[in-house]
Structure 1
Amino acid sequence: MYNLDKDIDKMPKKSPLSLQIDLQKFEKATEEEKRQQDVMSESVSFFRDGMRKLRKNPLAMGSIVVLILIVAMIFIVPHVVPYEYSQIITVNGKRDKTATNMGPFQYSEKEQAYIDEGGKIFPHIMGTDELGRDYFVRVIYGTRVSLTIGVFAALIVLLIGVLYGSISGYFGGKVDLVMMRIVDIIYSLPDMLMVVLLSVVLKEVLSVESIPALKNIGTNMLSMFIVFGLLYWTGMARLVRGQILTIKQNEYILAAKVSGAKSSRIIRKHILPNCISVIFISAALQIPSAIFTESFLSFIGLGVQAPMPSLGSLANAARAGLSAYAYKLIFPSIMICLITLSFNLLGDGLRDAFDPKLRR
């Protein structure tokens, strides 16, 4: 029987000047070569490719898991723990004055007596505060408030900053000159003064009776949201503008203009994907930055109105008994550190996954 494979092995090497067909070019592809061809022929979108690379980053995926657990906890715990963030501990319908400043998993004298009689009391996982309120529930509600402020601030910065910076950097010239002077003026405004002024003005204009939602967040919190919308997008706009000024000089942008593509499509399809790493990093870092800002404002009394807690107000209240009740400062500090570290690592992972310059 004729065996083509053996004949190929026995044949001498073909001369470069020969016109004979080289049978070695017709050998069967190996399994490895087939897999490489499958990978090369695979077509995926920019977002899917970035998400696939993000899933290969263990630190970024670990940060996502931590954030998911925190978000799940702030929604599930209030339905499981039978305490409210403003509720003072009571036993048999009467206030328990001995249930103040208790350590984790401790019971007061009245609670212990009630348990000895056969009653059941949900444990104080993180103890109680100076007024006898469950500290675990207050930390959970404080995390919810602080995380909401951070996400809300990041969305405002992302939407306004990216849109403003893209228009300024792409069109350039007089448009860029005028828009950047506006940014310089806004950037020079003192943040704290604006918060104080807006708090005073909004207290005069708005009331809890007219807007029931202000009963929980207060006019100070509303003024903080407005300040984020007015002031904190300028940094993002500057970063996006600087990236676009560099990217728009590339040849593929000129090719897109020559082909008749609209400016909005060029910005959306060609420019923004190439500066997506800066956008992701800035947005991810804006969340912990907003949490720190809220903590500082709560420290000076301009944050969330009592009795609604936040991580900043809890840390501020813990300073008074730091030497005797250090755990009160440890718990909110751990939550702040977890949120900050998770968003920082997630931002680094998003940069590595979506930056076209880092792709191989």
Structure 2
Amino acid sequence: MENTNKNLDQMPKKSPFSFQVDLSKFEKATDEEKRQQEVMSESSTFFKDGMRKLMKNPLAVGSVIVLLLIILTIVITPYVVPYKYSQIVTVNGKRDKTAANMAPFQYSDLEKEYMKEGGEVFPHIMGTDEMGRDYFVRVVYGTRISLLVGVFASCIVVLIGVIYGSVSGYFGGKVDLVMMRIVDIIYSLPDMLMIILLSVVLRETLNLDAIPALSKLGTNMISLFIVFGLLYWTSMARMVRGQILTIKQNEYVLAAKVSGAKPGRIIRRHILPNCVSVIIISAALQIPSAIFTESFLSFVGLGVQAPMPSLGSLANAARAGISAYPYKLIFPALMIGLITLSFNLIGDGLRDAFDPKLRR
């Protein structure tokens, strides 16, 4: 013992600037302290995590609520309001010629007389147009057309753009070169000129009267759908191609190739699921763009065929009497603004929630 103590005394003392750790200052954690450090988090998927972040965005949640209210309105209104979008106001089975250009919640002379006799008349919430048709119902059907165009165009853009961009980005080389030059050519075509040309061609070649649903929309509206299918997928294809050019360099794609997986399976099972968030965001942002394009074309007379209303055609018709009846322009313009703003805010919220580069 004496020799040991002497050896310890003879050992050199530790320098204060030394990085050597003094183990005597450390103690083992007790079982209770270990249990306090065990923090179990709930398992979550990428989609659930993104939706949780989206629900924390008040602007996106408010936009979703506004869109749901608009959709409920356009679905329920035809079952509640007794007027039709092409029907002139009638009183007791007779057309009311004095019901033209009425202000919101105003009644014509015949309606007032009918109400005095004990009859019931459904109020004109947004008044009537120049032909005596209920304006609220026409705005509701115009909103239907705008939403139909937006959703339909977005589906076409996603379907064609994802397939085309996936093939171009995955195979690369000469295939990518040729396919991207085709995209550049299509991207350079003027949209307005193509719509006018397709309208003329379809009017001469297709017999729309044999199809009631299409005859109501008219050749201009069908040409608009075709133009969206032919022209507006190019931006989606470019974006998907850029994503795939980056993703296909990862090791799990190489492992799938080595295991003998076919290109179609690799794209479908390994590549596209890793860029689905970007596709969803772009599709959500494409809807307001398509709605605004349809409203603009209807405003200049290239939209749906009368008497089917559209928000753009209603705004165009209201322009003539804007000084005397300004409310006719306010209602369709307000609806266009609400729809496009809601979809834009939802798209921004989806981008902030699902884009890994923007996560904090």
TM range (shorter): 0.7 to 0.9
Q: Hey, what's the Cα distance between the residues in 2 that align with 1:233 and 1:142? A: 25
Amino acid at match of 1:151: V
Name the structure 2 match of 1:86.
86
User: Does structure 2 retain, via aligned residues, the 8 Å contact 1:139–1:310?
Assistant: yes
Deviations 1:28-58, CA, capped at 9 Å, x for gaps: 4566x45xx221xx33332222223222222
1:206-221 equivalent positions in 2, closer than 5 A: 206-221=206-221
3-state SS in 2 of match to 1:44: coil
Task: Give the Cα–Cα distance (whole angstroms) in 2 for the partners of residues 282 and 223 of structure 1.
Answer: 23
Alignment of 1:252-291 (within 5 A): 253-254=253-254, 257=257, 262-291=262-291
Deviation at 1:263, TM superposition (A): 3.7
Q: CA deviation at 1:209?
A: 3.7
- Give how far 1:261 is off: 5.3
* Distance (Å, rounded) in 2 between the aligned partners of 1:348 and 1:251: 31
Work out the CA distance in 1 between the residues paired with 2:262 and 2:351: 27
Residue type matched to 1:342 in 2? S
- Work out the CA distance in 1 between the residues paired with 2:216 and 2:64: 29
Deviation at 1:171, TM superposition (A): 1.6
Counterpart in 1 of 2:189?
189
What secondary structure does 1:52 align onto?
A: helix
Alignment of 1:1-360 (within 5 A): 16-17=22-23, 22-29=27-34, 33-34=37-38, 37-39=39-41, 42-250=42-250, 253-254=253-254, 257=257, 262-359=262-359
Whole-Å Cα distance in 2 between the matches of residues 259 and 27 of structure 1? 48
Q: Indicate the structure (1 or 2) with the bigger Cα radius of gyration.
A: 2
1:214 is displaced (CA, Å) by 2.0
| Identical counterparts, % of pairs | 76
1:221-251 Cα distance to aligned partner (Å, 9 max, x none): 1111111111110111112222332343455
Contact 2:292 2:340 in 1 (8 A): no
Post-superposition offset of 1:204 = 2.0
Distance 1:16 1:260, change over 3 A: farther
The residue type paired with residue 232 of structure 2 is Y
Distance (whole Å) between structure 2 residues aligned to residue 145 and residue 219 of structure 1: 14
Structure 1 distance, partners of 2:329, 2:228, is 27
1:359/1:253 CA distance change after superposition, 3 Å: farther
* Secondary structure of residue in 1 paired with 2:120: coil
CA deviation string 1:82-131 (max 9, x = no partner): 00000101112222111111111011111112112221100000000000
Give the residue type in structure 1 aligned to 2:323: S
How far apart, in 1, do the equivalents of 2:72 and 2:81 lie? 14
Q: CA RMSD in A?
A: 2.3
1:11 maps to: none
Q: Provide structure 2 residue ranges, at least 5 long, that are not aligned to the other structure.
A: 1-20
- The worse-fitting range, judged by mean Cα deviation, of 293-302 and 103-112 is 293-302
CA contact (8 A) 2:300 2:316 kept: no
Unaligned residue ranges in structure 1 (runs of 5+): 1-14
Aligned-pair CA distance for 1:279:
2.3
Distance change in 2, residues 1:27/1:262 (3 Å): farther
1:137 is displaced (CA, Å) by: 0.3
**3-state secondary structure, aligned to 2:202:** helix
Shift of 1:176: 0.3
| Residue type at the aligned position of 1:24 | A
Counterpart position of 2:7: none
Rounded to whole Å, the distance in 2 between the matches of 1:253 and 1:351 is 25
Letter in 2 for 1:96: D
Three-state SS of the structure 2 residue aligned to 1:243 is helix
The alpha carbon displacement at 1:291 in A equals 1.4
Report the Cα distance in structure 1 between the residues aligned to 2:245 and 2:348, rounded to whole angstroms: 23
In structure 2, what residue type is equivalent to 1:50?
G
- 2:40 partner letter: D
Offset at residue 269 of structure 1 (A): 4.9
Structure 1 counterpart of 2:32, one-letter code: E
Worse overlay, 180-189 or 132-141:
180-189
**Distance in 2 between residues matched to 1:55 and 1:252, nearest whole Å:** 32
TM-score, with normalisation over the residues of structure 1?
Answer: 0.87
Q: Kindly indicate whether the alpha-carbon contact (under 8 Å) linking 1:217 and 1:304 is maintained by their aligned counterparts in 2.
A: yes
* Superposition deviation, residue 198 in structure 1: 1.6
